[in-house]
Structure 1
Amino acid sequence: MSSVEINGVSTYYEEYGDGPPLVVLHGATSDHQLWAEQLQPLTDSLRVIVYDLRGHGQSEGSTHKRYTIERYADDLAAFIDTLGLERPTVCGLSTGGMIGYQFAANYPEQLSALATVGAPTPQTFTLGERLTRVDVAKLLTPIMGNDRLMRTIDWVWEQLFRDSTTVDMDDLEEIRDSHACDAPEMQASEREKVMRGVQSYIGSQLEWDRIDVPVLAMYGENEPFIDRHTEYLDSVLEECRVREIPDATHNSHVDNPEFIIEELQEFHSGFDNH
């Protein structure tokens, strides 16, 4: 349990096990805790490293007015350099996977392979995805106030996707309670910057031809939209393996972590990190 300074931000991380490095990224507004607990079986053969993105968990925020997926990819590159990791495998959930795609395109020489779970590409395939590009927060914050707006957005997303994104809260709390880490609540200002960064990613351009490492793209069987994105990945990447996670929603790391672990083990055994 340590912290390092990454691009001027104190960044909290934990690592477990020995072997080739696996750097794991959490999703937006979350923190390292769920992965830290769920991926323990991999520590028999891998050095698993989890960290809190800037503005999340026990990592510091910053004075930047907005965050972008590219900024988080730059943070990841600096994190890998600071820890002296030699071409690790990177695995990202949701927004963490989006960061992984950007990182693989911007820093192809810094990783051996990329795995993502429930991570969309910047491409838009539906009207709903295109509508998310509208900066609702910018339009409504002066009227509603930031806290009220964020609660409203959370409620709308819950109503739209409650059948496909429901988490067993007892399971979630059990996982958090069993891990010796008490992360502070995310500041509203940091949350807003993160969500705007995610929003700016949608419809942006990414140089897929620069990604020349093996990619494992996983998504939940009951997860909306992501299957279209994994089909797209399979068409534009030279080496991409797509896997549907049975009995899982967008929270597949809670719904079916055993499947994810097995896939990561098989994926990692198929190439040489050195």
Structure 2
Amino acid sequence: MPTVRTDDIETHYVKQGDGPPVVFVHGMLMSTSMWKHQLDALEDSFTTIAYDVRGHGRTGGSGRSSYSIELFAADLAALFDALDIDRAVVCGLSMGGAIAQAFAAAHPERVAGLVLADTFPAGPLPLTGRLAMANVRFLARLDRLVDYRTLNRWQLRVGNWLLPGVAGDAETVQRLVEDAPHISHDEFVKIADATAGFQHEPVDLSVVTAPTLVMHGEHLPMANEETTARLLDQLRNADPVAHVVPDSGHASNIDNPDFFTAQLREFLTERAYPEAVLS
């Protein structure tokens, strides 16, 4: 599988199709595989690229003592450089959405469009968000005592019990468990702390002027409406639009891939890369 050197790590990536580039950033404890439907569906008109974030999948960990979303965004910039990408649409989900925000704020000139799915802005979180982040950090530390896949299955099923549909249907839950890469305890802790720490990072989204699409699953808690409203406000200079993905939870691109991909294709062809469609 192809890799490129990005700072102090070898980053694994997949690249398909031909056309304007779209770079996909996966969620915490996931890998490039979560974007398979979108990579395959859009390669007819676009160059679709996904990569394993530091600490995940075939990229694996590093010797750094701690991680941050800012570091993950710097890795993404290094990936752009390594693949000779000047500008691209960046699409991130959950933790990947946080990375996409940090990247766009630091490098607005390299963003042809921004797609944020099932994610959260920097800054104070609502109660449900704070509880979710505390739970992630707790699970990461519990991982030393309990098998990682067992923990992942447990948190997904408990999530569905507390908030029906938030983790998707039974098929989606099973896929999330099976597709999740093996992650060592130390990497799990660093990744969890980085994700939870995003709320304390200074991210100025007012510099982003590229067209922006925000999506979230129908079954996410009501607090997500507040989160989405905050994102839209912070991205007001990007003329953002928002869509609720029906019949989906926190992995809306997997729960309802046809709807998600249709909205993404419309965004790419009508707002991010209209000149490519006309040419």
TM-score class, shorter: 0.7 to 0.9
Distance 1:158 1:83 in 2: 38
Deviation sequence 1:53-83 (CA, Å, 0-9, x none): 1111100310111111000000000101110
| 1:99 equivalent in structure 2 | 99
Cα drift, residue 8 of structure 1: 1.3
| Per-residue deviation, residues 31-70 of structure 1 (Å, max 9, x unmatched) | 0012024431111100000110111110031011111100
User: For the residues of structure 2 that align with 1:49 and 1:263, how far apart are their CA atoms?
Assistant: 18
Deviation digits for residues 224-250 of structure 1, max 9, x if unmatched? 232212111222322111111111111
Alpha-carbon distance in 2 for matches of 1:184, 1:66? 20
* Residue aligning to 1:217: 214
Question: Is the aligned partner of 1:200 residue 2:197?
Answer: yes
Paired residues of 1:122 and 1:204 also in contact (CA < 8 A): yes
Query: Equivalent residue of 1:48, what SS?
Result: strand
Q: Report the Cα distance in structure 2 between the residues aligned to 1:184 and 1:196, rounded to whole angstroms.
A: 18
Change (3 A) 1:205 1:148: same
Letter in 2 for 1:121: P
Report the counterpart of residue 83 of structure 2 in structure 1.
Answer: 83
Shift in Å, 1:173: 6.0
Residue in 1 that maps onto 2:63: 63
1:183 Cα deviation from its structure 2 partner: 8.1
RMSD between aligned residues = 3.0
Per the alignment, in what secondary structure is the counterpart of residue 185 of structure 1? coil
User: Relative to structure 1, is the Cα distance of residues 257 and 205 closer, same or farther in structure 2, using a 3 angstrom cutoff?
Assistant: same
CA distance in structure 2 between the aligned counterparts of 1:120 and 1:222, rounded to whole angstroms: 15
Measured in 2, the distance between the counterparts of 1:78 and 1:8 equals 10
Q: Distance in 1 between matches of 2:181 and 2:131?
A: 32
Instruction: Tell whether the 8 Å contact from 2:125 to 2:199 is kept in structure 1 after alignment.
Output: no
Does 1:229 find its partner at 2:230? no
Identity over aligned residues, as a percent?
31
Task: Normalising by structure 2, report the TM-score.
Answer: 0.84
Structure 1: tracts of 5 or more residues without a match: none
Amino acid at match of 1:69: I
CA distance in 1, matches of 2:33, 2:171: 15
Counterpart for residue 265 of structure 2:
265
Which amino acid is 1:227 matched to?
Answer: E
Q: Secondary structure at the match of 2:24?
A: strand
Q: Tell me the equivalent position of 1:164.
A: 165
Which of 187, 191, 215 does residue 188 from structure 2 map onto? 191
TM-score normalised per structure 1: 0.86
Which deviations, in whole Å up to 9, do the C-alpha atoms of 1:95-131 show, x marking residues without a partner?
1011001111011111111101101112335234345
What amino acid sits opposite 1:63 in the alignment? G
Cα gap change, 1:147 to 1:74, in 2 (>3 Å): farther
How far apart, CA to CA, are the structure 1 residues paired with 2:92 and 2:62?
Answer: 22
**Aligned with 1:268: secondary structure?**
helix
- 2:206 is paired with a residue of what secondary structure? helix
Distance between the aligned counterparts of 1:230 and 1:196, measured in 2?
23
* Alpha-carbon distance in structure 1 between the residues aligned to 2:234 and 2:50: 29
Aligned length: 267
